[in-house]
Amino acid sequence: MKELNLELQINGIIEKTVAVEGDRFIIGRLLECDLQLPFSDISRHHTRLFKSASGDWLVEDMVSTNGTLLNDRPLTSPHLVQQGDVINLGQRINLIVVLFDRPDTELPEIGTMPEGVTILGNVKELHKQWIEPSTKVEKNYEQAISRLKYLVDVAKYLNTAESIEATFDRVQQIVFRDIKNIERLALLIDFRNNGQLEVVKTAAKKSSKNLYMPADGSWIGRTICRKVFSEQVALKTADAQLDEQFDDNMSTIDKGIRTAIAVPLWDENTVFGVLYGDAQIASREWYYGGDEDLSFFSALGNIVASSVQRWLLTQKLRNEETMRQRLERYHSPAVVQQLINTGTLINDRLPPVESEISILFADIVGFTAMSERLSPPQIARLLNSFFEEMLQEVFGAGGTLDKFIGDCIMAFFGAPEPQADHADRAVAAALGMLDRLDKLNATKSLGEPLQLRISINSGKAVIGDVGSSKRVDYTVLGSTINLAARMEGICQPGECVLSETTYNLVRSSQSFGLLGDFRFKGIDRPINVYQTNRKQCR
């Protein structure tokens, strides 16, 4: 029996597939029409399709104002429609004819797990079934060996691909060549491991015309993909629009999906993607073809999964190395490894959080005057050597580099990993920097005698990756940082000052004496400041 569908195309874009019901189908502007097209250039009753006594479909114009064209020729009398014919109505409407055979008798049992016109199967069993002979016949063994060799060749071919997109390009060549009833193919991956499948790439068979194929992948049967992904089964349907389990999915009808096949992609015991293919024309071969195509598609999916996983692992290692290099600008190697191991990063970023920290500013005394008498290359060499030495003390105390501000080092303690003794660590780093600088000056290792002013404050701050999509900096924000920066201005050369908050937190407070109470811009109360007395101790 010949059944008819019409693919509705408006302004060159296929909007949906319309099933023609009954033996008579009227298209026009009126609401009562079987297909209403509410456009001014469409007549109230514009075009009619009807079935002849022999079961063939014919089309005729209903004396419309603007006429009806069949394959760009005016329709002056009823005319037989063929597969792929284009019916033109008005200025913008095309109706593409899709004819298919629907068996009158009950369909035979398909494959090993029949379900209407759909097969569901265990992927591993289907994979094995395609390779292994079903009976002990010499011909079957030869077929099994031939198929195994073929899969080995396919695996070699896919594993030489340099990207996931290149892998797909090679897969589509194999699929469109070996499974003739697939017109469209898509690869979907759950990249974020959150159950959301993202379209990697799609393709259409070159010989297929008038395919509904938006670049955004909206043509893909998402209900079918979700079923395959969540239930971890391989699926093949000869006509998705006849299967009851897809009745509530209008997109299957609108997208014109009939023949469809999909298999899950496995990573050991976890499904991480789906290989999906379909066609907009129901295939008689698939009604009676059993699960041969599905078992081959499953075997192919297994190789695709291996190739994609290899690529994903390579990308993960590259991303991890890039992230490690970026993080090591701010953190000690031990902290970097901990961040990667614990999965603290979200989308390769450290999300901003509020934490208790101690912030340290270390500034070179008289650097502006020094810059006047040194050349730029000399200044660059001096700062590079100085920063290299000072950061050993910061990282040695488990601190994090925020940034270099000219000749100033800004570092903090207590994040990204919480440190209950963050104030002690900051003080240890400060005293270590001052002692190290004394030794460098004594040996004239830097070429110039340098002195530092260091200030430390403790309190709450927001810490995390801040910036745009093109540049991100791991930094701290808040009033705690502002006070520490302003305290540096009252520090004596070669000394370190602490806020009262930090002084009360440190266990080595005996190294500091009260310098006095000071008022700072933006703070409405006096702040007690404590300072080392290293000059008196010498």
- Which residues are registered as beta bridge partners of 512? 532
Backbone angles phi, psi at 437, to 5 degrees: -65, -35
DSSP 143-207: HHHHHHHHHHHHHHHHHT-SSHHHHHHHHHHHHHHH-TT--EEEEEE-TTSSS--EEEEEEE-TT
- What pTM was estimated for this model as a whole? 0.45
DSSP 408-476: EEEEEES-SS--TTHHHHHHHHHHHHHHHHHHHHHHTTTSS---EEEEEEEEEEEEEEEE-SS-EEEEE
Q: In 3-state terms, what secondary structure has residue 26?
A: strand
The answer to whether the CB of 163 falls within 8 A of the CB of 201 is no
pLDDT in tens, the chain (538 residues): 567 888 888 877 766 778 787 889 999 989 888 888 888 899 999 999 999 988 889 999 999 999 999 999 999 999 999 888 999 998 888 888 888 654 443 333 333 333 345 555 565 555 555 455 444 444 444 555 555 566 666 666 666 666 778 778 888 888 887 777 788 899 998 888 888 899 988 988 876 666 667 777 888 888 889 888 988 888 888 765 555 555 444 445 455 566 788 988 887 678 889 999 888 665 555 555 556 677 778 878 888 888 777 777 776 666 666 666 666 665 556 556 656 665 555 565 667 788 999 999 999 999 989 989 899 999 999 999 999 999 999 999 999 888 899 899 999 999 888 899 999 999 999 999 999 999 999 999 998 999 999 999 999 999 887 777 666 677 889 999 999 999 999 999 999 999 999 999 998 766 889 999 999 988 888 999 999 977 655 5
3-state SS track over 355-395: EEEEEEEEEECCHHHHHHHCCHHHHHHHHHHHHHHHHHHHH
Cα maximum dimension of the chain: 115
